[in-house]
Every structure is written in C-alpha cells, then in structure tokens.
Amino acid sequence: MKCVVCKGPAIIDIRRHNANFCTDHFLEQCRRQVAKAIDEFAMIERGERALVAVSGGKDSLAVWDLLVELGYDVDGLYVGLGIGEYSDVSGTYARDFARSRELTLLEVDLPGTYGYDIPTGSRAARRAPCSACGLSKRHLFDAAALEGGYDVLVTGHNLDDEAAVLMGNTLHWHTEYLGRQLPVLPARDGFPRKVKPLVRLGERETAAYCVVRGIDYLVDECPMAAGNRHLSYKAALNDIELASPGAKHAFYFGFLDRAAERFATEAEADREDLRPCASCGAPTTSEVCAFCRLVQRAGGSLPDGGPTAVAVELGPTRARVDEPSALEGVR
C-alpha cells in the first residue's frame, strides 16, 4: 500500500477517495479537507476568536488541534455532565490536551453549578439521556461563547455524525430539523455562529488523525448512548458505505446542494418566534426556555450571577507523547 502523493509506505486507505496516504500526507489531507470546508462554507474568518466544544473524544480534540495547526485562535470549552466515571475520564483527556498545547480551556461543571447531572435530569424530565444532554450542552455552549465574546462556536461533528443525523431526519421527515441541518448556522440574537469544520472527514479519519498526532482521547462511547437510534443509523450507513464507498459523502453533500433549501421555510418560521426566556434570558419560542424547564424539573437551580464558564488552571506542560508509527487499533 503506497501513498498516493509520494509513493512511500501508506498508513491508511480512504476508500471514498480511492487513495492511500503516508503519515505526513495523511495529516496534510486532513488539514486540506478542514481548510476546504471552512472556505467553502465561510465558517471562520482570519482574526476571529473561536471556541471549540471539547468532549475529550477524538473529534473535538482533532478539530481543536487542526484549527490551531491552520493558524486559528481557538480556546476550548469542556462541560462536566456528571455521567459517572465517563465524565471524570473525559475531562482528564480534555485538560491533558490543552496543557500539552498550552491552550486555554474553559470549564462548566453541570452538577456543581446547576445542581443536576445528566442521568438525574434525564429521568426527572422524562427525556432520553441524549436529549437531556444535547439540550444542556447547547445552552451552555451558546451562553459561554456569547459571554466570552467569541465570534464562533465550533463543534467536532464529522461526516459520519452528519450523515447519521440526516438519515434520522429523513427517515422521519423532520422538515424543521432538515432546514437547520447545515455546516454553518449564522449568528443571530442570542445565538453565536455555529460551525462544523470536520464535515469532510469520516470518523475513522479523525481517529487516525489523533493517533498519528499523539493525541490521547477517550475511545469509549458514552455509556448512556448505548442502543440509541443515532448509532443504529450509523450502522446502517456503514453497511451502505461498505458496498458503495462515498455514499455518506454523496448523501450529506447532495442534501446541502440540492435539497436543504427546500426545507428552509420551516426553519426560518421557528426563528421569527424567538423571545428572551423569562428565567435566564436565552432566546426561546416559549415563556421559559427548555433548559430552564429541565433544570427546574431535575431539582436544580440557576447560579446567582457569575460567568457560565471559567478558565482552568492547567499547571505545567507535560512532555509530548511520542507519535506512534502505525495505526493499529484505529476504529
């Protein structure tokens, strides 16, 4: 297996590009795909301040690293969700990465500050865990980005994520979600601009990127996500991709090219009804926003003033981990 660029020994094959790459040209390929996505969808301007939502998994650490490599000014935001050991460990990966690169990491501790964790909140609000978690994170990400004066909020959604969400939205024809499923959501009152620079990279590539770059990340899926529909859509798409390499890319980018705008009306109608939440002031379509309702039902409370997220003291930089030479174990 030879690198398609330099004919040296390849470490990875990417079937949808019908190409193999050596270590250096694979890294270049990842950077080029991210730069292309940023450029194509006007995600981030030079000189803007970006905040990346960091989970401690491969995607969020890869996108943080890639944006720094590409010369962007990016801080990280980690939200401790109180999902037992999973959350403890994921925070360690986020902090270790920030420390090793001497980057700024902001943190929010959901149980410590809002008085509930995701397992409790999910049960109390009778929402699926992934629903309670997504809702909490979106609220805290938005608030932290706006308070911190960031121009743009970055998430690590990759091509596999976006294709699986798109499959769920088309299987149910959730027309209002289809209208919003875009790689860039522009800023508007009370919401920061949101961008997904990894939409041109598959999750196998972001995992390989981390391994090659010596980035330690939490490999485990969240224990609360087991058996959720999103994972079954990913499995269905993996079967289809295996038979037709490039199917996920064609599905997602074909949607953006030829279908997304047909669903724009519902998404815009939603926006027109926004007003400030009576409790926290965040934009919402109801009297009290869904986050504040969740906090209340979960038996928690909003903190009295103070910033949503605070920068973490990370201590001295540790020595960099040696880069491994092979990708054994990449999922």
Beta strand pairing call for 49-54 and 152-154: parallel
Q: Binding to a second copy (CB under 8 A): which residues in 252-271?
A: 254-255, 257-259, 262-263
Q: Which is nearer to a second copy, 232 or 317 (CB)?
A: 232
- Residue 91 structure tokens: 């925070």
Shortest CA distance to 14 belongs to which of 215, 196, 245? 245
131 binds a second copy (CB under 8 A): no
* Binding pattern for the stretch 191-230 against a second copy, x by CB under 8 A and - elsewhere: --------------------------------------x-
Q: Are strands 275-276 and 283-284 parallel, antiparallel or unpaired?
A: antiparallel
- For a second copy (CB under 8 A), the number of binding residues is 25
Residue closer to a second copy (CB basis): 209 or 253: 253
3-state SS, residue 18: coil
Instruction: Give the shortest CB-123-to-a second copy separation in angstroms.
Output: 22
Which one, of 193, 197, 169, lies nearest residue 181 by Cα? 169
Long-range contacts of 230-233 (CB under 8 A, 24+ apart): 230/130, 230/164, 230/165, 230/168, 231/164, 233/164, 233/165, 233/167, 233/168, 233/171
Regarding 36 and contact with a second copy (CB under 8 A), the answer is no
* Residue (89 or 264) nearer to a second copy, CB: 264
Strand partners, 318: none
Nearer to a second copy, 104 or 170 (CB): 170
Kindly tell me the burial class for residue 256, based on how many C-beta atoms sit within 10 Å of its own C-beta (0-12, 13-18, 19 or more).
middle
The binder of a second copy chosen from 97, 114, 177, 251 (CB under 8 A):
251
Rounded Cα–Cα distance for residues 34 and 38 (Å):
6
Q: Which of 45, 147, 239, 323 binds a second copy (CB under 8 A)?
A: 239
290: left (phi over 0), alpha (psi -120 to 50) or beta: alpha
Q: 76, 156 in Cβ contact below 8 A? A: no
Site string for a second copy, 169-198 (x = CB under 8 A): -xxxx-x-----------------------
Indicate the residue among 100 and 228 with the shorter CB distance to a second copy: 228
Q: Which stretch binds a second copy (CB under 8 A): 6-14, 67-75, 165-173, 187-195?
A: 165-173
Q: Rank residues 172 and 318 by Cβ distance to a second copy and give the closer one.
A: 172
Considering only the stretches 14-22, 192-200, 248-256, 294-302, report the one whose residues sit in contact with a second copy under the rule CB under 8 A.
248-256
The contact set with a second copy (CB under 8 A) reads 170-173, 175, 229, 232-233, 235-237, 239-240, 243-244, 247, 250-251, 254-255, 257-259, 262-263
